[in-house]
Amino acid sequence: MKNVLITGAGRGIGLAIAKRLAQEENYRIFINYNNSKESALKLQEETRQNGHDAIAIKADVSDLEQVKNMFSSIEKNFKGIDILINNAGISRTSLFQDITYNEWQNIFNINVNGVFNTIHCALPYMLSNHCGRILNVSSIWGSNGASCESSYAATKGAIDSLTRSLALELAPSGILINAIAPGTVNTDMMKTYSEEDLKYVCDEIPLCRIAEPEEIAETVAFLVSEKNSYMTGQIVGVNGGFCV
C-alpha cells in the first residue's frame, strides 16, 4: 500500500486527482485541506464507502509547523509518504502596479513556500527508501507568462525551476519529480469570468474548449504511477494546444 498525499485536495484539480487515485487498489489517500473541510470530509466518506482508504487532514501548507505536524501524524501511523502531489495554490489577477507587498508575499507563501514545506518534510522517508514520486501542479503561465497575472506566473515559474533542479538532485536516489502545467481548467477560479470572457478564452485554444479537472487528473495518475519509470524533471503541458 502506497501513501499518497494531495495538498489542496478539497476542491478543483486537487479534488479530481484525489477521486481518480482513490480508484487505485494500492493507494491510501491523504486528502489535505485548509478551508474546504466539508468537501474533504465528503470525499473521505465516499472513498471509504467504495472500499478504499482515505484520510482527510487539515494543514495550511504555507505554515511549516502545520506541515510538520501533518507529516508527524502520518508517520506515526503510516510510516511516511510515498507519493506527494503539490496541488494547493491560489491565483490573483491584477495589474502589477496594483499588487501590494503583502499580496505578493501571500501568493509566494502558499504557492512556492508551501511546495518547499511539503517536499522538505516528505524527503527523509523517500530518501531512506530510495524511491518516491513528487508531482508539482504548475501552469502554462509559469513558462509563458501572463498579462495581469505576473505574481501567479512568477510562482509557477519558480515551481518549474525547482522541479527541474530537484529532479537532477534526487534522481540518484530513485525519486522522480515532475510538474504538470495545465492551461485553462474548469474550476472555481473560472467562476469570476463572464460567458463572453470564457468564449474568448476558448477561441484562443486550438481544441476550442477549456479542460475538465478529470482530464488533468488522468495525466497526474500516470506521472505518479509505476508505469512512469523514466520521466523526471519534466514540465508536462496539458493545455489543449494553447501553448506548444
Higher local confidence (pLDDT), 221 or 145: 221
- pLDDT category at 145 given cuts 50, 70, 90 is confident
Residue 161 has pLDDT above 80, yes or no: yes
> Can you read off the three cell numbers belonging to residue 163?
522541479
Say what the pLDDT of residue 32 is: 98
Q: Which domains does the chain have, with CATH numbers?
A: 2-238 (3.40.50.720)
Model's pTM, two decimal places?
A: 0.94
- State the Cα–Cα distance between residues 199 and 35, nearest whole angstrom: 31
Query: Which active-site residues does the annotation give?
Result: 152
